[in-house]
Amino acid sequence: MTTHTGPVGRLMKFTARPGRGADLAGLLLRVADALDGFPGCLLYAIGRDERSPDVVHVTELWRTAADADAALAASAEATGSPAPAEVLALVAGPPERTDLAVLGGLLPGTGTGTETGPRTEG
């Protein structure tokens, strides 16, 4: 097994208690605000499922896994970020998490079209 050293993605799916999706999204937006400017954070997007308004997704893109792990540890102590207990009070169960080894594509903040190099014209 090899260790991925490039960008990493995390897809999180939270299901709020009935009728609390907007409240949960609001708390997660505060987490995003607290991460603004955090080293290695390329994307931290919050979205509600259009068909299930109590389902909230977080899409994360980090320069490295170490950056993602450091942010997770720091976000609980960041000014303005909700306490983990505030988030847990709104969720119906544990979040679903998918970790991704990002191979390429249009990566914001990297200046490249893929992990292996810049896009070429033509």
| Tokens 């490295």, located at residue | 64
Residue 71: the pLDDT is: 87
CATH class of 8-101: alpha beta
CA within 13 Å, CB half, 21 = 17
Distance (Å, whole) CA 7 – CA 66: 10
Task: Check if the beta carbon of residue 104 is closer than 8 Å to that of residue 115.
Answer: yes
Q: Sketch the domain layout of the chain as residue ranges.
A: 8-101
Task: Check if the beta carbon of residue 74 is closer than 8 Å to that of residue 32.
Answer: no
Task: Check if the beta carbon of residue 38 is closer than 8 Å to that of residue 66.
Answer: no
Local confidence pLDDT in tens for the 122 residues of the chain:
457 778 999 999 999 999 999 999 999 999 899 888 889 999 999 999 999 999 999 999 999 999 998 988 777 676 677 888 899 999 999 999 999 999 888 777 655 554 444 333 44
